[in-house]
A and B are shown apart, each in its own frame.
Chain A
């Protein structure tokens, strides 16, 4: 097999980063990205892109930590290079505050982010409703810039990208040797994964350029994340809601909650409301599978179900998925050479 043809379905953060990893680990592969949506219309474009991990209940912590470490190191290098502004990657410091001291004062990722420590008494004075806090420096991936940067890198590597709604993975079997399923919430229908469920998030993106620090309530519901041009204010976690329509009452509520953490936000301008459905799962599905119909086989690698934690682990899961694609290709090459005998 001279040039194995790999299709990556999905052009959000996971699809693009997985495609890029495949071009890096399998230079002989011809990679094509197929998606019904591209930036700025993916779920990833709604997210703030903060590297603060979500904990997946059914994935061993060491594996989650490895994914996060790999992602953090990858992005840190970009943030420290001349490409940082184009890629939309930048360092940001701030606080995670808790109304009551959490059971786990040291999260598993505390030694991966920079300068992690408990907040001082003086710092906590700024948050009269909160008893405990953590201060640290982490990274933020602004979208669309990061997705557009990934697309640019892919094009430079010879990757083709097409707008196409794939209704069934099997429809790709005649054109491609392997398929990578990075369809996020779309996997619910595409592969019938009933373990995948939406967690609706509404956010506001506002103009408040004097906000340089992030503030996050440890409950994960209220957060202020300063990006390059806009500050993301959040949010909601509505499990099971499929609605992509912004809700006015929710907008008011998010704004009020954020203003109580950072009163200067009262002066924020140009409020844009966005909604995304976090493709949530008890564990991220990074897995190989072989579909077969009538003696014909189609290797598939799944990489979806990142829920609230996609940005934090994307590079780690992308490289794991790319590795699985490598295994699929080797298996195909093995069987094709057997066929020659």
Chain B
């Protein structure tokens, strides 16, 4: 039973790991293979700051809120393990700032210590009159992806550095199930007009005195189009760009200035921060995550694809919930193909 995962970002690798953990004992013939043209540190996930935080509103998509919660709880459970440092996982507190009162987010009870900001705290951020404080998690892609890769390699998962041109390509080689975790480039494998780039540009600086994340919101300009500052274990990420439909992965001088000026206005101390890098990436944005099975007729065979893409700017936030959902879909497929006598284990 060969299962091929397309994509080696956070979605592809975590899906692979989740599947490996769930099924390795139950399906002795299971062979997992990861195909990607980009590996860490060159994936979209590597550019993300790594802060666990969903968008402000789930637009009634309770499924995604549940997946976010499953991810947070899973990561929190790893906080006391010695692996947390290697995973790039740590607790961090911070601020969400608004120019007007807003309803509480869907994730207020998922994070720790969620509360409104006090007047004294708001004085620190002129121009903002409302906000939240909470403790969340950071999961840094540049540590988490290598950690996932090591775990997968140890468990015999094979990696192939190649750009897969079609699902058929893999099926004709004898792959039984394909997990499509191709993120921004899913459209190359199967057209999806709902999948659009949400271009972001970030500046990486050295500002080790910054211990909180600060995310501002401009309800008119939309998510991530307002300055944000996210301190990592080594660098601090300055951002605030979200350009829907822009496919450019080149850094723009105009965006640089916008990010730099707005972040320095937010945190004057940043003026002394040393810039070490700049990066542009494309958030694989979609009205909702595509996480579903698709049966493809190939001659006299029925080939199965599990799609798991379109996580926008919240891939790290939602990844494990989606990985488990993808694993459940694989479980159904395996059952149908009589590879599994009964569904695996307790309710996933």
Residues of A within 8 A of B (CB): 76, 79-86, 88-94, 114-115, 117, 119-120, 122-123, 126, 135, 137, 142, 209-213, 226, 228-229, 263-264, 266-267
Contacts and interface: CB of A to CB of B under 8 A. Distances in A.
Nearest to A145: B209
A264 B85 contact: yes
Given A115-B117, A115-B118, A85 B231 contact: no
B68 to A, nearest CB: 16
Given A114-B118, A264-B90, A267-B85, A120 B112 contact: yes
Given A209-B233, A210-B90, A93 B211 contact: yes
A82 B265 CA distance: 10
Given A82-B268, A90-B209, A212 B82 contact: no
B27 interface: no
Contact of A85 (B135, B212, B272): B272
B272 A82 contact: yes
A51 to B, nearest CB: 14
Nearest to A93: B93
Nearest to A111: B120
A212 B85 contact: no
B73 to A, nearest CB: 10
B250 interface: no
A266 B82 CA distance: 7
Contacts of B84: 263-264
19 contacts: A80-B124, A84-B209, A85-B269, A85-B272, A88-B209, A90-B209, A94-B93, A115-B118, A119-B113, A120-B112, A123-B113, A126-B79, A209-B208, A210-B85, A212-B91, A212-B211, A264-B84, A267-B85, A267-B86
Contact of B211 (A117, A226, A263): A226
A209 B234 contact: yes
Nearest to B93: A93
Nearest to A135: B113
B90 A81 contact: no
- Residue of A81, A85, A211, A266 with most chain B CB atoms under a 10 A cut-off: A85
Given A120-B112, A122-B112, A209-B233, A114 B211 contact: no
B312 to A, nearest CB: 26
Contacts of A135: 113
B133 interface: yes
A123 B111 CA distance: 10
B271 A82 contact: yes
The main secondary structure of chain A at its interface with chain B is: mixed
A107 B121 CA distance: 19
Contact of B273 (A81, A85, A92, A213): A85
Nearest to A80: B124
B71 to A, nearest CB: 16
Contacts of A122: 112-113
B56 interface: no
B347 interface: no
Interface in B48-103: 79-82, 84-86, 88, 90-93
B115 interface: yes
A88 B207 CA distance: 11
A70 B117 CA distance: 22
A115 B212 CA distance: 14
Contact of B231 (A93, A114, A212): A212
Contacts of B117: 115
A116 to B, nearest CB: 9
Contacts of A117: 113, 115
Nearest to A230: B208
A80 B269 contact: yes
Top 7 nearest A-B pairs (CB, nearest first) are A84-B269, A267-B85, A90-B209, A210-B233, A210-B90, A93-B93, A85-B272
A88 B272 CA distance: 12
A107 B73 CA distance: 32
A222 B297 CA distance: 64
Contact of A90 (B118, B211, B268, B272): B211
Contacts of A210: 85, 88, 90, 138, 233
A211 B268 contact: no
Nearest to B114: A120
Interface in B158-187: none
Contact of B121 (A89, A94, A114, A264): A114
A211 B113 contact: no
B92 A213 contact: yes
A161 B178 CA distance: 73
